[in-house]
Amino acid sequence: MAPIGQAIKGLERCLTFPNYNTNTQIYTNDTNITSVIIGMMKKSNEICLILDNIRSVLNVGAIFRTADALLIDKIYLSGITLTPIDRFGRKRADFHKTALGAEDSVPYEHVESIEALLLKLRKNGFQIIAVEQSPKSVDYKKAKIRKPVALIFGSETEGISKQVLNLCETIIEIPMKGKKESLNVSVSAGIVLFRLLDN
């Protein structure tokens, strides 16, 4: 029984993602083996998200919940973006408040360098798309998107840096008709993702 228990424990902690041409490991921090097995059986949508320097843990949790609803393959967290687990190894109550358990079902990974990640994903055939307002951006409804694709969502106040935008193949934005210049980042993620899966 001990070897089986150890195998199950290892499976809960770390999975090798079968849908990418890479050996990237996914940390689920999931204590429920059933949800891990179900996650392995889900069909890949060939979509991953990169959340870069998003300060609000509530927004990040909300994006996790949307990602779970749409079977997003993986979420990368970079910069100051908080993970579902704090530095003491405990689950964040504030994260769970909006994620509502999606932090256990959506594979995620924290990366030190978003630039290195983008180069790695591009090497593995991913189209890199930034969701940002820019002179070079196109309407998200008109963008030509192919899979596999990585979508970058950045800081609510500072946006995505020029260095990161220069590494993107496409920049898309949601047109605003009112007085406000942008939407909440979690709302923007939901709009773009549901549109993408409708195509």
| pLDDT tens, position by position, 150-179 | 999 998 888 899 999 999 999 999 988 887
- Asked if residue 135 belongs to a domain, the reply is yes
Output the average pLDDT for the chain: 81
* Number of Cβ within a 10 Å radius of residue 37: 12
pLDDT digits (tens, 9 = 90+) for 181-195: 788 999 999 999 998
The Cα–Cα gap between 34 and 22 comes to 25
The Cα–Cα gap between 185 and 192 comes to 11
> Taking residues 42-55, what's their average pLDDT?
86
pLDDT digits (tens, 9 = 90+) for 60-113: 999 999 999 889 999 999 999 988 988 888 888 888 888 888 888 899 999 989
- Asked if residue 74 belongs to a domain, the reply is yes
Specify the number of domains making up the chain.
1
Determine the structural domain holding residue 184 and report its residue range: 43-198
**Sign of CA pseudo-dihedral 15, 55, 120, 135:** positive
- Asked if residue 76 belongs to a domain, the reply is yes
What does pTM read for this prediction? 0.77
> Which CATH number belongs to the domain containing residue 179 in this structure?
3.40.1280.10
**Whose CA is closest to 156, among 177, 115, 120, 186?**
186
| Cis-peptide into 18, omega within 30 deg | no
